[in-house]
Amino acid sequence: MIGRIEVAGLGKAYKRFPNRWARLADWALPGGRARHELDWVLRDVTFSVRPGEAVGIVGLNGAGKSTLLKMIVGATRPTAGTIAARGRIAAVLELGLGFHPDFTGRQNAILAAQLQGFGNEAIARLLPEIEAFAEIGPYFDQPLRIYSTGMQMRLAFAVATAERPDILIIDEALSVGDAYFQHKSFDHIRRLGAEGATLLLVSHDKHAIQSVCRRAILLNGGTVAMEGEPEAVFDYYNALLAEDKAGKIVQRSDQGGKIRTDSGTGEARIESIGLFDAAGRPVSVVAVGQAIEVRFAVGVHADLDGLVLGCGIKDRLGQMMFGTNTFLTGQALDSARLGDQFVFRVRFDANLGEGSYSVHASLVRENSHIEKNYHWVDHGHVFEVVNPTKPSFVGCNWTEMLFDIERISPPAPPPARDDPLVVVDVGCRWGFAERFTGGAFRVFGFDPDHEECERLRARHADAPAGTIHVEAVALARRAGPRRLYMTREPACGSLLEPDPDLTAAYPALDCARHVASLEIEAVTLAGWARDNGIGRIDHIKLDTQGTELEILEGAGDLLAGLRCVEIEVEFNPIYRDQPLFADIDRFLRRRGFVLWKLSNLVHYSRDGAATGALDENAVCYDDAHRFVHPTHGGQLYWADARFIKKDVLAPRPIGDPQRLRDETLFSALGMADVVAHIASHRVSP
Amino acid sequence: MFVLNLWRYRDFLRGAVQRELQARYRGSLLGMAWALLNPLAMIAVYAVIFSQVVSVKLPRSDSSFAYSIHLCAGVLTWGLFAQIIDRSLVMFVHNAHLVKKINFPRVCLPALAVLNSIVDFAIIFSVFIVFLLLIGRFPGLPSLALAPLIGILALFATGLGVALGTANVFFRDVEQMARVILQFWFWLTPIIYPLSILPESIGRVAAWNPLTPVMIGFQDVLVGGQWPDWASLAYPGVIALACAALGAGLFRRHAADIADEL
């Protein structure tokens, strides 16, 4: 099977000659008699790696790790035993891939790829990936001698893994790189593993091996000393490192099946480990963030010239979450006497993610366990962390994250669609359509004044064809002849007669003074839509000086598809017989609309004289925003109202066409609160 | 097996030859032009000195350029021979960083030693041929004999070089010794002088030198414009084949141990 590695009875020995002449004789003279002795650096190593498996190789310096890898790679030949490794092997052994200092990174990448047996065609294909992965920027075309070792590492790793190998072998090389590239490399290694590559990783770094490998092999003195879960192997390895004098290593399985490692000289011992809450009660289940105390009872069995307690918390994978010792906190004891008893209390907040953790403890003479190791306990006390109080989170560490979301770029315009939203703007004189861009909308503006329509058409001449239309049409309740009352200010013209008393008496309403009349032919919105093949209107804006309700009444069935109405409403009549807000509100409510916002409340006073502040008015947006402003004189005449179809607020599945239309429409209208309301519905289709 | 590996690694070999040339002239303003200027200068010196300044007449020729051509014929072809050996001697030692870490066909290294030497030789010999054409002394049809002559020379040097280069991994004395021997060998071969000027006693010794018939062959073609004495080339041909067999044998036997010794 491709990717399988079978190592059986493997041994490697170097020839040792009694003198130089013996070597010459050995070399030149034929015949059987051996004139050398063999120095075995690796002996009787047997293991196998399944395709797609990741195995870590751990060992002290000189344990034979590099020799083993070189033999698997094929750079050197075994003296005994066999290796079967199927598939393409890529290796990053020590530093570099035989790089040449005078050549540029690019040339070296080419050379290294050629040495791996790639042809020029394949290299031309891989080179951009190598350059991108190495992330050494312009250095890629600079000679290698000006590279830092980290940069060489980046290049070597990028070259070795550019083409997915069947077997990837990494020898310690990754310890050279910077933290960022190490992360990136390990991500890449994991990805290669997920894609089925077999991984063999040599490292002293427990985290590196644990994060990638499910199994580790410990080489010691040229033989396989242990094989198993990385955590257990590393515990044993650390104990090996610490094994000085007569220190003996004992591993025993605890209840959970995890191997516990207990080692040390025993001159001081951790007699017990306990976990307590803030009130001193023993606990084994801890809440995220809860204050806890770990208590160690220590007995001293010899006179010591230094005693340091180390305490750490490991997760269930054996990754150290946090650890420190009394040397680092400046509390090392200079001496301890035979028979002394100590209690160490370590207090901290369990700012840990949910899961199972264990307490790791060590008693040493000074800072590190290499110095002198009295007692070393892994998985001394196992406890659970649960999360009853904090918001759900992932990870192994609790920390409070505050999110602040600011949208920097304007929202992307909605894509053009086959079925555009139809927007109607009646009384569009003040300009319209700017809000409805991006191809998702068809906009129809209405104004009875032909000249005004020409002006508006010219203004929107740049719009994509078919998206903006200006209709020189007067809309009314019924089709037929009507009189258009033209006013001093053309924008105030109406099919209703302005109240002359009002326009005379109110300076602010002088604009609506009747100056001329024109007989015109009005149509209904429903009739116009039928004639123009419009089957549905999504949004309508009405500002027609008193005929807004009329136009809605003439809309017929179109009201059913309407989602939003922006409408000018009057509270006191300016035109004769005009309907007021209450009429419009009643009309729209009956047809499934609700009032959403009322703004621009406009007041007029008879003499037009501004009075001083009279009172205060407050506008509140929930409890969060409350705006207070002074009121002044005058009577409320009109305002801008927005009604939305009640149905807009009903939950709809994500991806529902109407939901998408609503989101597009209300985004364009700037009604982010409605959009958020729609988006808050998490209904699966 | 060797040939198959070389074919698989042809792009590497081509790239390595290019890189060697680039590396040599890296940082120089004229760059690759030096590859031509150097041999040009050498040939020009030989041509001017020995035709105009120091007049040396060869027994067989009356041309003023005869000795210059004689010198070039010998020095250039000896250059090929010496370079192959020189490069092969150190091919493993100098590439230890590759050999120890990377599993690639080891036969690429001797192949590169030979290829690089041949490229150098091709450049310099082309300049020489152009020179011959310019002075009207190009040998014509007998120049076809250059191919087998160069073939024998290169095969001889390759076999010897690979044998010595392999041995040099295990005994570094080989490199020093070989360089000394090459010095003597140069002067025991009729390169500077024509064989005829040697006293008969030394001449007999020189006749055992397998390079002697090859050199005389080159001189016959290039100086005399005549075909070489084919019969005399049998002896160096056999020796070359024997050396090639020795080199291949040693290489095959020890290639796997090389990485351990470096």
Domain encompassing residue A291 = 250-386
Is residue A354 within 8 Å of residue A387, measured between CB atoms? yes
Measured between beta carbons, which residues in chain A are less than 8 angstroms from residue B9? Answer: 114, 117
- Torsion over CA: A62, A68, A71, A75 (sign): negative
Q: Is B23 on the interface with A (CB under 8 A)?
A: yes
pLDDT higher than 80, residue A462: no
**pLDDT the model gives residue B1:** 66
Is the domain of A231 the same as that of A263? no
Q: How many CB pairs under 8 A join A and B?
A: 75
Is the domain of A212 the same as that of A265? no
Residue from A104, A114, A125 to probe the interface with B (highest B Cβ count within 10 Å): A114
Rounded to a whole number of angstroms, the distance between the first and last alpha carbons of chain B is 24
Is the domain of A438 the same as that of A339? no
pLDDT in tens, A624-650: 788 888 888 888 889 999 999 998 988
Is residue A5 within 8 Å of residue A84, measured between CB atoms? yes
**pLDDT the model gives residue A247:** 47
Question: How many whole angstroms separate alpha carbon B255 and alpha carbon B262?
Answer: 12
Residue A658 within any structural domain of the chain: no
pLDDT in tens, A561-608: 899 999 999 999 888 889 999 999 999 999 999 999 998 888 888 777
pTM for the model stands at 0.54
pLDDT in tens, A511-558: 888 888 888 889 999 999 998 888 899 999 998 888 899 999 999 888
Question: How many whole angstroms separate alpha carbon A444 and alpha carbon A428?
Answer: 9
CATH number at residue A43: 3.40.50.300
Is the domain of A221 the same as that of A294? no
Is the domain of A78 the same as that of A219? yes
Concatenated DSSP letters for A153-212?
A: HHHHHHHHHSSPPSEEEEESGGGSS-HHHHHHHHHHHHHHHHTT-EEEEE-S-HHHHHHH
Question: How many whole angstroms separate alpha carbon A227 and alpha carbon A83?
Answer: 18
| Conformational region of residue B77, where left means phi above 0, alpha means psi within -120 to 50, and beta covers everything else | alpha
pLDDT grade, residue A39 (50/70/90)? confident
pLDDT in tens, A143-159: 888 888 778 888 888 88
**pLDDT the model gives residue A504:** 79
Tokens, residue B85: 């050996």
Of A177-191, A266-280, A542-556, B145-159, which range is least confident?
A: A177-191
Q: Cα-flanking dihedrals φ and ψ of residue A620, to 5°?
A: -120, 140
Q: Which residue of A has its CA nearest to B261?
A: A14
- The partner residue sitting opposite B101, judged by closest CB among A23, A75, A89, is A75
**pLDDT the model gives residue A566:** 93
Strands ordered across the beta sheet of A341-349:
A268-277, A291-300, A341-349
Question: How many whole angstroms separate alpha carbon B175 and alpha carbon B168?
Answer: 6
**What are the counts of helices (DSSP H) followed by strands (DSSP E) for chain B?**
12, 0
The CA distance from A216 to the nearest CA of chain B, in Å, is 23
pLDDT in tens, A464-516: 777 888 888 889 998 889 888 888 887 788 888 888 888 777 877 888 888 88
pLDDT higher than 80, residue A388: no
CATH number at residue A268: 2.70.50.60
Instruction: Count structural domains, chain A.
Output: 3
Average pLDDT, chain A: 82
Q: Is B100 on the interface with A (CB under 8 A)?
A: yes
Angle between helix B234-261 and helix B211-222 axes, rounded to 10 deg: 120
pLDDT grade, residue A94 (50/70/90)? low
Name the one residue in this structure whose structure tokens are 């700017």: A434
Q: Which of residues 29-58 of B touch A (CB under 8 A)?
A: none
% of chain A with per-residue pLDDT over 70: 89
A234: which residues sit within 8 A by CB, 6+ positions away?
Answer: A58, A206, A209, A210, A216, A318
Residue A496 within any structural domain of the chain: yes
Residue A41 within any structural domain of the chain: yes
Q: How many CB atoms lie within 10 A of CB B8?
A: 14
Is the domain of A220 the same as that of A256? no
**pLDDT the model gives residue B60:** 62
Measured between beta carbons, which residues in chain B are less than 8 angstroms from residue A91? Answer: 101-102
Measured between beta carbons, which residues in chain B are less than 8 angstroms from residue A90? Answer: none
Residue from A24, A29, A72, A76 to probe the interface with B (highest B Cβ count within 10 Å): A76
Mean pLDDT of A417-433: 77
pLDDT grade, residue A355 (50/70/90)? confident
ipTM associated with this complex: 0.78
Decide: helix, strand or coil at residue B174. Answer: helix
Is the domain of A225 the same as that of A288? no
pLDDT grade, residue A610 (50/70/90)? low
- The more confidently predicted of residues A255 and A230 is A230
Is the domain of A77 the same as that of A187? yes
**pLDDT the model gives residue B241:** 95
Decide: helix, strand or coil at residue A529. Answer: helix
> Half-sphere exposure of residue A611, counting CA atoms within 13 Å on the CB side?
14
Domain boundary among A212, A236, A260: A236
Q: Is B11 on the interface with A (CB under 8 A)?
A: yes
Domain boundary among A183, A210, A236: A236
Tokens, residue A97: 């891939």
**pLDDT the model gives residue B85:** 95
Q: Is B98 on the interface with A (CB under 8 A)?
A: yes
Residue A408 within any structural domain of the chain: no
The segments of chain B whose pLDDT lies below 50 read: none
Is the domain of A39 the same as that of A163? yes
Strands ordered across the beta sheet of A421-426:
A468-471, A441-446, A421-426, A539-542, A564-570, A635-645, A593-604
Name the one residue in this structure whose structure tokens are 């070489």: B228
Is residue B182 within 8 Å of residue B87, measured between CB atoms? no
% of chain A with per-residue pLDDT over 90: 10
**pLDDT the model gives residue B91:** 92
Is the domain of A204 the same as that of A282? no
Concatenated DSSP letters for A16-52?
A: E-SSHHHHHHHHHS-SS----EEEEEEEEEEEEE-TT
Residue A653 within any structural domain of the chain: no
Mean pLDDT of A84-101: 76
Question: A34-38, A186-190, A357-361, A548-552: which has the highest mean pLDDT?
Answer: A548-552
Q: Which run of H or of E encompasses A123?
A: helix A120-134
Tokens, residue A611: 């009075």
Name the one residue in this structure whose structure tokens are 């250039």: B76
Is residue A416 within 8 Å of residue A440, measured between CB atoms? yes
Could you tell me where the beta strands, DSSP code E, fall in A175-319? 198-202, 215-220, 223-228, 248-253, 259-264, 268-277, 285-287, 291-300, 308-315
Decide: helix, strand or coil at residue A9. Answer: strand
- The more confidently predicted of residues A558 and A396 is A558
Residue A643 within any structural domain of the chain: no
Q: Where are the domains of chain B?
A: 2-6+35-261
The CA distance from A378 to the nearest CA of chain B, in Å, is 38
**pLDDT the model gives residue A649:** 87
Measured between beta carbons, which residues in chain B are less than 8 angstroms from residue A96? Answer: 97, 101
Is the domain of A87 the same as that of A160? yes
Residue from B11, B100, B177 to probe the interface with A (highest A Cβ count within 10 Å): B11
**pLDDT the model gives residue A257:** 42
- Torsion over CA: B103, B109, B110, B112 (sign): positive
Rounded to a whole number of angstroms, the distance between the first and last alpha carbons of chain A is 45
pLDDT grade, residue A254 (50/70/90)? very low
Q: Which run of H or of E encompasses B33?
A: helix B33-48
Name the one residue in this structure whose structure tokens are 């005058």: A634
Alpha helices in A56-119 (DSSP H): 65-73, 105-115
Burial of residue A188 (number of CB atoms within 10 Å: 0-12, 13-18, 19+) = middle
Concatenated DSSP letters for A462-526?
A: TSPTTSEEEE--EE-SSSEEEEEEEESSGGG-BSS-B-HHHHHH-GGGGGG-EEEEEEEEEE-HH
Is the domain of A256 the same as that of A137? no
Q: Is B8 on the interface with A (CB under 8 A)?
A: yes
Tokens, residue B221: 């073609």
Domain boundary among A211, A236, A261: A236
Residue A591 within any structural domain of the chain: no
pLDDT higher than 70, residue A177: no
Q: Is B198 on the interface with A (CB under 8 A)?
A: no
